[in-house]
Structure formats: structure tokens, C-alpha cells
Amino acid sequence: MHLSRNLLSVKLKYWLGLAVLLSIALICVAFNRDNDDFETARREMILRRIGHELLLQSGDKTSRVLPVKKSAENEYQIRFEKDLTFQPDSLIKITQRLLAKDPLAGDYVVNVLNCSDSSVAYGYAIAKNKKDDIVACRGRKQPSACYKINIKFKPSGLITAKKGYVLGGLSFLAFVGFVFLRSVKPRENPTEKEQAGNFTWGSTSFDAKLRKLMVNGKTTDLTGTETRLLRIFAFSPNETIERSRLQKEIWEDEGVVVGRSLDMFISKLRKKLEPDPNISIVVVRGKGYKLEISA
């Protein structure tokens, strides 16, 4: 009864732990993806606004700004329905004013490309530190033509760190999950003899049904409590059994548990196992006891 309950508890821990770890991982991935999608959509709205104001500057109040294209990670293209002309000074002021509303836009490079061959018609770089700005050829109005405005942002330290934390967190969860699942991995099914309550360790054998312990050919009778206690150890040799578990499983139906009772029965079992030097019940300090069986 205790064995089946213990195995069921281990299996429940196994699946519960797996479900919790997978849920945490999925939440982290979903949160990161939703947040990135929101920031991308917000940035694209700002870029469309830049295109709109450029059209107004060129005197065009009717043609459309085409959908912003994300050409690469942190790189976008503003495209137009018709040809336009622009003043470099106006382009710089518009992009600086509107991109200031993007909290993740720090340093960026703007290149105005010719639609026909993607050659650079005009370009400049803006940095948080103004002395690092690279701006040339101000005041020269560009001829009317088909242009694409390509804006490449320097990856934000916040985004890089966030992705690093997410990836690092998932790796840590995977490691914790591996350790946890190994620690609660169900023990192999007991043999038919063990199911019947018969155990053999070298020159020592234990018959739980008959309450008999045979050590080096000498048979000793066991009490009911000694039998229940040794049976728990027998199903988990060389494994630490918590003191609280032993007390609960042995005395759970008898009401009050006396703290020294367990120590007394452990002491009695030790004496009965003493003739076999390869078997002993050892104390695992701060945790419980272990039936230690040498090869």
C-alpha cells in the first residue's frame, strides 16, 4: 500500500514538474514575442509618420506612403507611391523629432536609396552622443525621383539584454528541469519477490510477510513496527529516507508520534543487522536515514 502510494506520488511530481517548467518556458517566450510585436508595430507607425511629413514637405498631399517594410533585424524601409523631392535638412529634423518618441531608438543610420538600383542618394548617421553624428551635404535639395528611405537602428542594450535573459532563463529552466526530473524519476518496478515482501542482500534475507530477518544463517523475529520500518528501507536501498516520511508512514494510523520512537526502532534494527558488515542503517545528518548496502 505504501509502495503504490509512493510510486504514484513520484509520478505525480514527475508530470507536475514537467508541466510547470513547460508552462514557465511558454509564458516567457509568449511574453517576449508579444512585447517585440508591439514595439515593432509602434516603430512602424512612427516611420509611416516620417514618410507622411516628407510628402507634405515636398508639396504632395494626396499620394500614399506604402506599408513600411522590415528588411532585416532592426532595419526598415519607408516607401512611397509616387516620386518625391526632399531637403536633407528637413529629413534630418523630421526623423530626429519623430524617432525621439521611440524609446528603443538610440543610434541609427538613414540612407535614401534610388528605387531603380538601390544606390545611396543621400545618407547620414545620428547618435545619442551628438559628437558622433555623421551628417554631410546639408541644404542641397534632391531632385524629384523614386526614393526608398532605409533606416537601420543600432540594437538596443535593453533588447539585447532581454533576449539574453530569456535565452539564459530558458537554458537555466531546462537544466533545472533535467535535474528535477532525474531526482524524481520513478524507481524501476520491484521484482515479484520484492512485491511479495522477500528481499535478499548477500548473506542477509528479509521476509516481510513472516516478519523474519535471516543474517548469516541465523533467523531473528521482527516486531510489526520493525517490519514496516525495514520494508520502507528495503524498497529504497542506498537512498536517503526522510525522517518525517518514516514517522508518517509507520505511525500515521496510531495518532500521536513520539519523536524518540523512531530512533529506538532504528537502534533495534541496527543491532539485528549488525552480524552482516555489508549492511547498516546510517544517519544522513539533517535529512534522515539510509539503508547502506555494500557491494
* In a shared domain, residues 33 and 152: yes
* In a shared domain, residues 149 and 222: no
In this structure, is residue 178 part of a structural domain? no
* In a shared domain, residues 194 and 243: yes
**Cβ proximity of 13 and 185 under 8 Å:** no
* In a shared domain, residues 27 and 95: yes
* In a shared domain, residues 27 and 146: yes
Return the closest-CA partner of residue 3 out of 186, 169, 181, 221.
Answer: 186
* In a shared domain, residues 228 and 130: no
In this structure, is residue 2 part of a structural domain? no
Total tally of structural domains belonging to the chain: 2
In this structure, is residue 184 part of a structural domain? no
Mapped onto helix, strand or coil, the DSSP state of residue 177 is: helix
Query: What is the span of the domain harbouring residue 198?
Result: 190-293
Per-residue pLDDT band at 3 (split at 50, 70, 90): very low
For residue 4, pLDDT beyond 70: no
Q: How far apart are CA 250 and CA 223, in angstroms?
A: 12
Find the range with the poorest average confidence among 73-87, 107-121, 202-216, 255-269: 255-269
Q: How far apart are CA 124 and CA 134, in angstroms?
A: 6
In this structure, is residue 182 part of a structural domain? no
pLDDT in tens, 25-58: 566 555 555 566 777 788 889 999 999 999 998 8
